[in-house]
């Protein structure tokens, strides 16, 4: 058997792959699929030919393809000796974030494994809208273009810095819940109460030490009603105002924005020195099993 590598990884895969749509309970998708006993025979034969690459999907025979494949592999080969691929799309929610999280958990459970080597989008999802906006000369210009690209019918918009790679889905969900739960709010800002002593300076000279309990360190995501964000940008353009974050635009037109506490390790990568703590946090999460990626 000849082998190659999977993409840019060092994972060795056979150049022949076993497609597993023919495995599964007959009648759940096709009438001609193989039962569990026959599935195992095919898997064992493939392994005897030194094929280590198996491709299934969450939708094949209502998930029984994944179940049969998982049990056959578990009986006949060590997990790290095979490459398992599955797919997502033919399920409720298509490729929405919630659907992907739910479906990968189901796939792993059915296959009896704790990771996949490759997770494939089975079809392009036209139901979950993806809109693109041109970048502007400033962050504010780019945000405004993004806000105006939000499809009609959406009530809220979440704005997040790509330079904050450690944000968690739990933090995002919590912020959304706070905003949606109080209709008097125009937006919420993720952040943390200040823990450092702050100084007001004139040049290098300290002028005042304000009480730090009055201050928060603002992060992203910052989430707003689409209407409030559009009005804020219109007002900023009319008055020539440039803010350092999105919330400042809403605040200055009288909008009500609430701080929502998010994890302190939601760090921003601004300078090269920031990479070291971010890397350490990611490695720590993986070692502790926290937010461990399902796909390796």
List % helix, strand, coil for the chain (3-state, nearest 5).
40, 20, 45
Structure tokens at 174: 């919590």
Give every CB contact of residue 142 below 8 A, 6+ residues apart in sequence: 133, 135, 136
Write the secondary structure of 222-270 as one string of H (helix), E (strand) and C (coil). Answer: EEEEHHHHHHHHHHHHHHCCCCCCHHHHHHHCCCCEEEEECCCCCCCCC
Residue written as tokens 């933090």? 171
- Report the alpha-carbon distance of residue 132 to residue 230 in Å, rounded: 17
Structure tokens at 172: 């995002």
- Report the alpha-carbon distance of residue 177 to residue 261 in Å, rounded: 13
Structure tokens at 27: 């009648």
- Report the alpha-carbon distance of residue 39 to residue 270 in Å, rounded: 52
Among residues 60, 68, 89, 119, the one annotated as catalytic is 60
Please state whether 9 falls in left (phi above 0), alpha (psi between -120 and 50) or beta. Answer: beta
- Report the alpha-carbon distance of residue 257 to residue 69 in Å, rounded: 51
Structure tokens at 123: 């079809």
| 278: exposed, middle or buried (Cβ count in 10 Å: 0-12, 13-18, 19+) | middle
60 is an active site residue: yes
- Catalytic residue list: 60
């Amino acid at each position: 058997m000849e082998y190659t590598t999977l993409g840019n990884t060092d994972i060795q895969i056979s150049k022949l792959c076993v497609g597993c749509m023919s495995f599964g309970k007959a009648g759940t998708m096709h009438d001609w699929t193989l039962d569990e006993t026959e599935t195992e025979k095919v898997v064992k034969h493939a392994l005897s030919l030194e094929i280590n690459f198996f491709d299934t999907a969450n939708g094949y025979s209502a998930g029984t393809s994944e179940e049969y494949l998982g049990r056959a592999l578990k009986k006949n080969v060590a997990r790290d000796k095979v490459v398992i691929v599955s797919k997502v799309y033919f399920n409720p929610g298509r490729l929405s974030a919630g659907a992907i999280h739910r479906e990968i958990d189901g796939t792993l459970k059915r296959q009896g494994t704790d990771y996949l080597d490759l997770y494939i989008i089975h079809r392009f999802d036209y139901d979950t809208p993806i809109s693109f906006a041109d970048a502007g000369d400033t962050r504010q210009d780019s945000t405004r273009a993004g806000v105006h690209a939000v499809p009609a019918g959406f009530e809220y918009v979440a704005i997040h810095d790509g330079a904050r790679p450690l944000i968690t889905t739990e933090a995002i969900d919590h912020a959304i819940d706070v905003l949606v739960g109080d209709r008097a709010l125009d937006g919420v800002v993720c952040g943390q109460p200040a823990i450092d002593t702050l100084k007001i300076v004139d040049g290098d000279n300290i002028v005042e030490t304000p009480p730090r309990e009055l201050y928060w360190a603002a992060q992203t995501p910052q989430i707003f009603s689409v209407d409030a964000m559009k009005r804020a940008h219109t007002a900023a353009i009319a008055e020539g105002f440039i803010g350092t974050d999105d919330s400042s635009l809403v605040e200055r037109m009288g909008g009500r924005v609430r701080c929502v506490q998010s994890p302190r390790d939601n760090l921003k990568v601004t300078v090269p020195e920031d990479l070291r703590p971010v890397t350490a946090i990611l490695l720590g999460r993986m070692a502790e099993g926290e937010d461990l990626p399902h796909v390796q």
